[in-house]
Structure 1
Amino acid sequence: MTLHPRIAEVLRHLPPPPDGPLDPVAIRATEETQVPPLEERLPLAHVEDVTAQTPSGEVPVRVYTPLDADEYGLLVYYHGGAFFLGSLETHDHVARSLAKETGLKVLSVGYRRAPEAAFPAGLQDCYGAVRWAQENGETLKWDGTTLAIAGDSSGGTFVAAVAAMAHDDGFDRITHQILFYPSLDLDFDVDRYASLRDNAEGYGLETAGLKPFNAFYLDSGADPADALVSPIKRDDLSGLPAALIVTAEHDPLRDEGELYGERLKAAGVDATVSRYAGAGHGFVQHFSWIPEYHRVFEETRDFLGR
């Protein structure tokens, strides 16, 4: 189907990107101005900022408790933003919706970002945070069962990489991985996937913008040939946690996400690929207020409850 009309209307009114090199500080500041005030956010039983003590140092974590209970399953969430954007604030509404719809306690990770923090700092923070969650299960009132990881866009990259790191380390407590329109191949050759050409322009994220937006991460030492940078390049995907991979019809990154899902299935992993018609990249962050796309949180709940 064509791009959803309400998304198309928003995109029509977006200002053109600024000329010249990208300024991460300026772009972040603009993004933060779009965060709604606290009183307008989805209410939950408790929201608390804590510090996770990890091997890579202190990592800010925002803990979302959907309701008062004796124990909870846990979901560790990594925000997107091309490895240099996004924050606990810009994705606060996503974490709140995940907590409300799944009933899990959500831990949103404020990992270090490029270019200030070189690879693999952010990835280490993400992996350290999920290990910290398991180690502090009693304090978090973890029920000892569900320990899921989820992320959107570059956060989805970290999900796949963290799942692989945990498997290789023999850390088998991660039960589910949820990847919303993930970036899984940071080799942006436009001939690698048909969606890079089919969805190149006019849908928000454009293929021509992939290299400059990811340059801060790649220039910090992230090698696209490394399977922790481009998880689709991992040879053996067997033994990884059950996966839900959500893609968007009009996303340049659509095909790599769907191929990854097929490769997981071929390796014997319980993997579900779910394509959202009429959507473009970023719809969970920007357009989940549209009922057709808010359903992604319900699908996540159902996947976690299987």
Structure 2
Amino acid sequence: MPRTQTGISPDLKRLLAAIRLGGAPPFEALTPEAAREAHAARGRLMQHPGVDLPEVRDLDVELPDRRIPLRLYRGGRSEAPQPCLLFLHGGGWVLGSLATHDALCRALAQRLGAAVLAVDYRLAPEHPYPAALDDALAALRWLAAQASSLNIDAARIAVGGDSAGGNLAAILALMGRDGSAPPSSFQMLLYPAVDLRLTADRYPRPSEAMVLTGATMRWFIGHYLPDAAQRSDWRASPLLTPSLAGAPPAFLLTCGQDPLCDEGLDYGDRLQAEGVQVTALHLSGEAHAILTMDKAIGAVPAVLDLAAATLRAAWERQEDQ
């Protein structure tokens, strides 16, 4: 996959200038609570309103010790069971919610003409690793068990997410392959974090004044994985799994102006080398988190079109088998 760095896109240039003009402090300069408020405010400012859909409703996974909020989106009506994308939001395992990714989930559901189930997993530092993964796994198991009552095709459940959510989705896909989670038919990995080891050479790409910086990633990982020894577990860093063979087909988005770019490209290279079908899209001039900044980045609709078309095609092939 491409490794050459190029200049930033005109849209990203304008966005970064506006961010600098606004003078907002980086997330790592804030408390987690204040960072969540700032992240949510940025999302409201940078995203178009979500599209209307035939159905949007809130649900819950009720567990003995906790409740996991969910939101179900349907992009089309059908008497037959629909395929479903289990979506896990980004935000460095510290930020993000159903609300911050509502417009993105609506856009995906509309393009898929199918169901999307978003998961409001627990956040660090209040709930460090593996809380987010435990909630993602519980939600996937619940979806598979409740598929019939939800009019979902249990054989065509995909997993996906952006950034930290892409991390969780990649892990669920591998767990499904290994039999420790319901199997996934596809994985949609949107600028995922797949190697959480904070080695000295981590985040070599220039990220100064970018939407996401290496310093912010270190802050996120420090909250999510305060025990450094856990960062080398493949259930935290899926790039470190001994084998990716047998994982479900993938759509992988990487952005050249993103500190997570190289690990995402490495993951795509490994998936392909180990026999997994990958549709890889690399946007050399774009930065992290663009999919929740569609007011500023004109490429977003086309990216979502391709991601959804790739998943729809995978579901259609599976239905024909």
Unaligned runs of 5+ residues in structure 2 are: 1-5, 315-321
- Name the counterpart of 1:186: 196
Change (3 A) 1:274 1:55: farther
Which of these residues, 15, 18, 33, is aligned with residue 25 of structure 1?
A: 33
Match of 1:69 in 2: 78
Q: Is the contact made by 2:27 and 2:35 (CA closer than 8 Å) also made in structure 1? A: no
TM-superposed deviation, 1:36: 4.4
Within 5 Å, give how 1:20-99 maps onto structure 2: 21-34=29-42, 36=44, 40-53=49-62, 57-70=66-79, 71-99=81-109
Which of 143, 164, 169 is the matching residue for 2:174? 164
Shift, 1:287, TM fit: 3.2
Structure 1 residue aligned with 2:3: none
| Residue identity matched to 1:66 | G
2:7 equivalent to 1:2: yes
TM-score by length of structure 2 reads: 0.87
CA distance in 2, matches of 1:258, 1:114: 27
**CA deviations over 1:69-119 (Å, ceiling 9, x no partner):** 213110000000010100000111110111011112000000001111132
> Which amino acid in the other structure matches residue 25 of structure 2?
P
Quote the residue 2:239 is aligned against: 232
**1:278: Cα distance to partner?**
1.6
Query: How many aligned positions are there?
Result: 303
Superposition pairs of residues 188-267 of structure 1, within 5 angstroms: 188-189=198-199, 191=201, 196-219=203-226, 223-267=230-274
Give the aligned CA root-mean-square deviation in angstroms.
2.4
One-letter amino acid matched to 1:79: H
Cα distance 1:31–1:191, how it changes in 2: closer, same or farther (>3 A)? closer
Offset, 1:160: 1.1
Higher RCO (C-alpha 8 Å, min separation 6): 2
> Which residue does the alignment assign to 1:147?
157
Where does structure 1 lack aligned partners over 5 or more consecutive residues?
Answer: none
2:166–2:191 Cα contact (<8 Å) kept = yes
State percent identity of aligned pairs.
33
For normalisation by structure 1, the TM-score amounts to 0.91
One-letter amino acid of the counterpart of residue 6, structure 1: D
The alignment partner of 2:299 has SS state of helix
Indicate the larger mover: 54-63 or 241-250.
54-63
Runs of 4+ in 1 over 6 A off after TM superposition: none
Contact in 2 for aligned 1:56/1:121 (Cα 8 Å): no
Deviations 1:190-231 (A, max 9, x none): 525xxx323332432122332123211012677211111111
Contact in 1 for aligned 2:249/2:278 (Cα 8 Å): yes
